[in-house]
Amino acid sequence: MAGKTLTRADLAEAVHREVGLTRQESADLVQSVLGMISDTLASGQSVKLSSFGSFMLRDKNGRVGRNPKTGVEVPIDPRRVLVFKPSQVLKDRIDKGLS
């Protein structure tokens, strides 16, 4: 699968075409939405986008890992990770794209 990756510029261009804002206004709008999502996640809250999915934070405990090359045990610190759970609507849409 060597498809093109959707970028921030692509999103701004799509907003420009679909909504009719100027290119700069479209880029600012995309930046604002992504900034709001990032700020909300950074503050520890979840983000739910209806018919798309949810972004949630999970706290992972510390554990002992192992370097696969050398076999040496390495402590892994506790950390917070971002997870995405797609909605059923998105899952169905992706599944239809395969058939």
Which residue bears the tokens 């939405």?
Answer: 33
Distance CA(10)–CA(7), nearest Å, equals: 5
User: What pLDDT, on the 0 to 100 scale, is given for residue 1?
Assistant: 44
> 1-15, 21-35, 47-61: which has the minimum mean pLDDT?
1-15
In the predicted structure, residue 2 carries a pLDDT above the cut 70: no
Q: Does 3 score more than 90 pLDDT? A: no
Average model confidence (pLDDT) across the chain:
93
pTM of this structure: 0.78
For β-strands 79-86 and 53-60, DSSP reports them as antiparallel
Average pLDDT over residues 51-77: 95
> How far is it, in rounded angstroms, from Cα 53 to Cα 81?
17
